[in-house]
Amino acid sequence: MVTNEQELIQRLALGDRSAFREMVEIHKKKIYFLALDMVGNPADAEDVSQEVFLRVFRSFKTFNQDARLGAWLYRITYNASIDHLRKRAVTPEPMADEALEAGFRSHPQIAEPQASLDPAVAAERGLLQDRIEKALGNVSPREKAVFLLRHYEDLSLREIAESLELTVGSVKSYLFRAVRKLRTELVPYQTDVNPEASHD
């Protein structure tokens, strides 16, 4: 944990509203995109993001100041997303085209602009990502969260375990099952993902 984050946490613990605004500014994109990946459309992702920061504001006094703030925020985002999906009580809708990632390990925050790609390559990536999104609709919420945090947010297995309050062994198991289901959908593309790889 960097010193700046430690200082920010201390200010948050003291009820500093400017610190809360800083925290929102730092983390809002990651929270929004994880919510978007979980719930499937921008409007619901906005609702979940607002709920996440409301929960943070109300419950920061329960935060363990020795823990990583990011991991806690991911956990709240996962729980808020699950709560939202339960209330909605429907299968997540496919994400809008503008929200789809450009490649398997890319994310809207860091995706290569489509305009810079060869049209044929861009079309192939778009088709592959569309299949990935559809395949993710067939995995459990926990499997999906583990997969997203590993392959889209690039968290280590230990960081994912901390974020979702799981053991590293459970994270590996969820990741293996998610990738196995994805491989079934992506056989024509021969996508190679190694769920056993250690990234901690």
Phi-psi map region of 40: left, alpha, beta (phi>0 left; psi -120 to 50 alpha) = left
> Residue 188's pLDDT is what?
58
pLDDT exceeding 70 applies to what percent of the chain? 70
Domains of the chain: 1-98 (1.10.1740.10), 100-200 (1.10.10.10)
Least confident interval from 66-70, 106-110, 174-178: 106-110
Sole residue written with tokens 């459309």: 41
Least confident interval from 2-6, 26-30, 121-125, 154-158: 121-125
Per-residue model confidence as pLDDT tens digits over 53-93: 999 999 888 888 888 899 999 999 999 999 998 887 654 44
- Mean pLDDT across the stretch 18-23? 93
Sole residue written with tokens 């991991």: 71
131 pLDDT exceeds 90? no
Burial 50-87 (b: 16+ CB within 10 A, else e): ebbbebbeeebeebeeeeebbbbbbbbbbbbbbebbee
> Residue 114's pLDDT is what?
45
Instruction: Give 148 or 118, the one with higher predicted confidence.
Output: 148
- pTM exceeding the 0.85 threshold for the entire prediction: no
Token digits of residue 15: 């009820």
| Spatial separation of the C-alpha atoms in residues 64 and 34, rounded to whole Å | 22
**Distance linking the first and last C-alpha atoms of the chain:** 16
H, E, C per residue of the chain: CCHHHHHHHHHHHCCCHHHHHHHHHHHHHHHHHHHHHHHCCHHHHHHHHHHHHHHHHHHHHHCCCCCCHHHHHHHHHHHHHHHHHHHHCCCCCCCCHHHCCCCCCCCCCCCCCHHHCCHHHHHHHHHHHHHHHHHHCCCCHHHHHHHHHHHCCCCCHHHHHHHHCCCHHHHHHHHHHHHHHHHHHHHHHCCCCCCCCCCC
When pLDDT is cut at 50, 70 and 90, the band that residue 200 belongs to is low
> Residue 39: how many CB atoms within 10 A of its CB?
23
